[in-house]
Structure 1
Amino acid sequence: MDESLTEDDFYSGPLRGIFSKLERQHLIFNVKTMILDGLSVPAELVRDIIVDDRFNVKILSIRKVTNMNQRGLQSVLRYVVRPSASSLPRLKGLYLFGHKDAAATPSSRDTSMSSGRISAGVMSSEGAQIGAEWNARSEVALSAALLGHDQPLEEWWRTRGNVFGPNNTIKDTPSSDWADILLACQGVIAFDAVLCRGPRHDPSQTAPERLLRPAIASIGFGARGCEICGSCPEQPAVFDRDADCYFPLLAPPPLHASTIRSAQRPTLPQSLETPPPLILRCTECVRDRWCQRCNKWWCENCYEEPFSRAKRQHHNSPEDGFQEDSGWIAEAMNSNAGTAVKVYSNLCVESCLVSEMLPVADGMWG
């Protein structure tokens, strides 16, 4: 092994070899959508894809790649969008935070044919295998259309809860330092995530002591919004009306039109002609306003926390024992009071908190 070989060179070697082969065939510059999900992709290789004149990649997907230094990738992105840059990067969209797309499952007919007599000869070539895969995908899509299956609304619009992790968990939520990167790249490079637009991130609407740093919106409320007004103070994002930076890149990446618009446009069910509004928030902007069980949420315009509630220290989960004094609990349960508490210990007081406490506090409410 060459002693001058760096760690990045070692881990990026297989892909660099493929890129070199495509370059010799005069093909690499024609690749506008590049999907490297799950492969070994160091940050230095991403830098080459974005900066090197050999490449003309408009949309790049590096979800769940290995050997990626997150800090190194952040430095690369800061570098390419720096104010002193002589030109904007060719890259317009970066898929980074989501999960890999499921591979297309070939039909039984495709499987039997590939294992039969036509698997030899010209069908064993790389180009033919790629064509066979696309034929399989097309057949799956055509079958669904013939059966009359209605396409579901995109997950970002359907989800009420954490939009990054399965089952509303937070383990896949991007780290907080990525919010500064999204802000620096705003208007230049789009991501499969967006910044929270809650009023506490807006200096014109929030007192300095309550102002929050930029944060990635990880909690989705679909088009339903607040339980009272059905909207939000910052107004829901409406596709084809609001700025592109309000919308995430949607999976899977587009393969036939390498544009941000095509990557952000949701696939609508037949019952909808236009995309519904989109409401997304960061975790801090929904703290003590969102029930993590039933996903009800109350916005700042419709619910102001009681003063006595604001002075108290909050527990993070109902398993903490519910050791608060009985006077405050009575206040929380008083639905007739104008300042009744809506959410406590991440559960709505009206229903979910009661159902959680009754089995724990045997006879407490008798």
Structure 2
Amino acid sequence: MGPLIVDASPSHTLADILSNSLVLRQTTPYLPVASIYALAATSKALHHIVNHAPDVFRYLDLSTVQSAIVPYEPLDSGGISWRAERMDEALTEDEWYSGPLLGIFSKLQRRHVLQNVQTLVLDGLSVPADLVREIIGEDRFNVRILSIRETQHLNERKLLQLLRYAVRPSRPAGTPRVKGIYFFGKREQPPLLVEHAPKKKNSRSSSPKGVMSSQGAQIGAEWNHKSSEALSTALARTTDKWYQCSGRMMPKRLSLEWAETLKACEGIIAFDAVLCRGPRHDPGRAFVSNSDSEGSGLPHPASYLSPAIATVALGPHGCEQCQSCPEDPAVFGQSPASQLPLLSPIPLHSSSLRAAQMPHTLDGSASPPLFVRCEDCLKGRWCERCHKWWDEDCYTVSTIAQRTELQQTEYMENAPLDGAAPSKQSIKVHMGLCVNNCLVGEMMAGAGSNGMWG
């Protein structure tokens, strides 16, 4: 064995390493903007890289930048002046709230780096609709993926109008440049905001009382939540919530205008939500004979529904009986992009629609199917606890399922037990719980109490 030869040449500097575009693209998305500029101040070489390399600000997250936050509210009910110094009386409210971000964009434009921004994250900031219009419509922006989740001072009606205008048939060729918008989901919390606050000593009077407030109970609840998430992830083979049995994905019911806007944007702009494709939204399949519901005063279970956004994630296994659904599940790589939602977290190293929609499986296997629906298509078919559900081909929801909860309860209590139709066993879901499993457990838990099942 010969002697060990050691390279005596000078070692590479950090500037040499970051001069490699591949290294730079993989590194900078993890650095806050303040850290990037602090790095640029350390040497002329790094300053040149930060201000001239196109990959440094390809991914720009302004949600944690202090100067992007509006420091105080300008409007009040008492007629007090907006600011101590004089202001232009022609300044509109939207211009005020856009001020911090417009200032940052002006600085980036003067440094000739604004055009390099392809993924822009503005979550939680003051983002009026007029500012969104500039980002989508003005040539100085080159944004492909835009995130405006949980933003403030954003007029949804104006946002809907500008989106419909941006995708109008007469729009200029190559517009809009934005291909994906995160709006409906929750933003990712920075690591520092998730840390627990230090506990105060001798604070018996301020601590909440009760069994569930004890440290043991809280730890147990946290472990139960983690165990549930781990099980859901293992069953779906992915950490993406849209592909798990996550249930309701949005805290509030979305307006019809949003569904119509997503329909108008199909194939042009994708969102972190998709339209429900249940058969009741298809005019060719929903209008059927309603002779069996005549005299009941209730709509036919298969009557037509207007376009609606799918708000319930049902998991990767489909209908409890046939393991599929009439509309066929969406599959990444096979289905149109309009049937697939943008997934969180936002991709750091690519600004393509494909990267934002690609589910990541734990074992590297093929992407799981996507089963999602609106709540109207799941009425009487979906267990809100275990997330089992039955499609239209496997379970015809009777008019019983469309009654109010009180009417359903009275029917269940008075229904015959001797098997005569319709029997209790003919109903699969009652008051949001599957009859065979979750409803039985609920009844047992309430046995002996003074509640409904007492």
- Please name the residue that 2:356 is paired with: 263
TM-fit CA distance, 1:254:
1.9
Q: Which secondary structure does the structure 2 equivalent of 1:261 belong to?
A: helix
> Partners in 2 of 1:156 and 1:70 — Cα distance?
24
Dislocated runs of 4+, deviation >3 Å: 172-176, 320-327, 333-339, 357-366
- Please name the residue that 1:293 is paired with: 385
Q: Is the 8 A contact 2:416 2:424 kept in 1?
A: no
1:63 partnered with 2:63: no
Change (3 A) 1:183 1:359: same
Q: Is the 8 A contact 2:408 2:431 kept in 1?
A: no
- Please name the residue that 1:214 is paired with: 307
> Partners in 1 of 2:91 and 2:445 — Cα distance?
62
Q: Is the 8 A contact 1:179 1:216 kept in 2?
A: yes
1:185 partnered with 2:265: yes
Give 2:114's match in structure 1, choosing from 28, 42, 46: 28
Q: How does 1:89-100 map to 2 (within 5 A)?
A: 89-100=176-187
**Rg larger in 1 or in 2?**
2
Aligned alpha-carbon RMSD (Å): 2.8
1:156 partnered with 2:242: yes
- Please name the residue that 1:273 is paired with: 365
TM-score by length of 2: 0.63
TM-fit CA distance, 1:206:
1.3
Change (3 A) 1:335 1:347: farther
Q: Letter of the aligned partner of 2:375 in structure 1?
A: T
TM-fit CA distance, 1:44:
0.2
Q: Letter of the aligned partner of 1:219 in structure 2?
A: V
- Please name the residue that 1:284 is paired with: 376
Q: Letter of the aligned partner of 2:405 in structure 1?
A: H
Change (3 A) 1:265 1:288: same
| Highest RCO, 1 vs 2 (Cα 8 Å, sep ≥ 6) | 1
Q: How does 1:320-339 map to 2 (within 5 A)?
A: 322-324=409-411, 326-328=413-415, 330=417
Q: How does 1:240-255 map to 2 (within 5 A)?
A: 240-255=333-348
- Please name the residue that 1:147 is paired with: none
Q: Which secondary structure does the structure 1 equivalent of 2:146 belong to?
A: strand
Unaligned runs of at least 5 residues, structure 2: 1-86, 194-236, 289-299
Change (3 A) 1:16 1:160: closer
Q: Is the 8 A contact 1:81 1:185 kept in 2?
A: yes
Change (3 A) 1:302 1:264: same
TM-fit CA distance, 1:324:
3.5
1:234 partnered with 2:327: yes
TM-fit CA distance, 1:338:
11
> Partners in 1 of 2:361 and 2:244 — Cα distance?
11
Q: Is the 8 A contact 2:247 2:313 kept in 1?
A: yes
Change (3 A) 1:32 1:322: same
TM-fit CA distance, 1:202:
0.8
Q: Is the 8 A contact 2:443 2:453 kept in 1?
A: no
Q: Which secondary structure does the structure 1 equivalent of 2:268 belong to?
A: coil
> Partners in 1 of 2:385 and 2:412 — Cα distance?
24
Q: Is the 8 A contact 1:201 1:211 kept in 2?
A: yes
Q: Which secondary structure does the structure 2 equivalent of 1:34 belong to?
A: strand
> Partners in 2 of 1:342 and 1:360 — Cα distance?
20
Q: What does the per-residue CA deviation read over 1:46-99, in whole Å, with 9 as the maximum and x for residues that have no partner?
A: 000011111111110000111111111111101111122233311100000111
Give 2:277's match in structure 1, choosing from 187, 197, 208: 197
TM-fit CA distance, 1:313:
2.3
TM-score by length of 1: 0.77
Q: Which secondary structure does the structure 2 equivalent of 1:205 belong to?
A: helix
Change (3 A) 1:56 1:345: same
> Partners in 1 of 2:188 and 2:429 — Cα distance?
36
Aligned length: 309
> Partners in 1 of 2:392 and 2:166 — Cα distance?
37
Q: Letter of the aligned partner of 1:32 in structure 2?
A: Q
> Partners in 2 of 1:325 and 1:98 — Cα distance?
37
> Partners in 1 of 2:412 and 2:316 — Cα distance?
38
Identity of aligned pairs, percent? 48
- Please name the residue that 2:188 is paired with: 101
Q: Is the 8 A contact 2:415 2:424 kept in 1?
A: no
Unaligned runs of at least 5 residues, structure 1: 107-150, 165-170
